[in-house]
Amino acid sequence: MPECWDGEHDIETPYGLLHVVIRGSPKGNRPAILTYHDVGLNHKLCFNTFFNFEDMQEITKHFVVCHVDAPGQQVGASQFPQGYQFPSMEQLAAMLPSVVQHFGFKYIIGIGVGAGAYVLAKFALIFPDLVEGLVLMNIDPNGKGWIDWAATKLSGLTSTLPDTVLSHLFSQEELVSNTELVQSYRQQIGNVVNQANLQLFWNMYNSRRDLDINRPGTVPNAKTLRCPVMLVVGDNAPAEDGVVECNSKLDPTTTTFLKMADSGGLPQVTQPGKLTEAFKYFLQGMGYSKYASSVPRPGTGGQEGLSSLGA
pLDDT digits (tens, 9 = 90+) for 226-244: 999 999 999 889 999 999 9
One-character DSSP codes across 129-186? GGEEEEEEES-------HHHHHHHHHHHHHS-HHHHHHHHHS-HHHHHHT-HHHHHHH
Residue 301 pLDDT:
37
pLDDT average, residue stretch 34-62? 96
Residue 230 three-state SS: strand
Which of 273, 229, 201 has the alpha carbon at shortest distance from 37?
Answer: 201
Domains in the chain: ranges and CATH: 7-309 (3.40.50.1820)
Mean pLDDT of the chain: 90
Instruction: Report pTM.
Output: 0.91
pLDDT digits (tens, 9 = 90+) for 128-152: 999 999 999 999 999 976 556 666 6
Residue 306 pLDDT:
41
Q: Give the CA radius of gyration of the chain.
A: 19
When pLDDT is cut at 50, 70 and 90, the band that residue 177 belongs to is very high
Residue 308 pLDDT:
34
User: For residue 94, is pLDDT > 70?
Assistant: yes
Give the span between the Cα atoms of 189 and 169, in whole angstroms: 11
Give percent of the chain above pLDDT 90.
Answer: 78
Least trusted range by pLDDT, from 127-136, 258-267, 283-292: 283-292
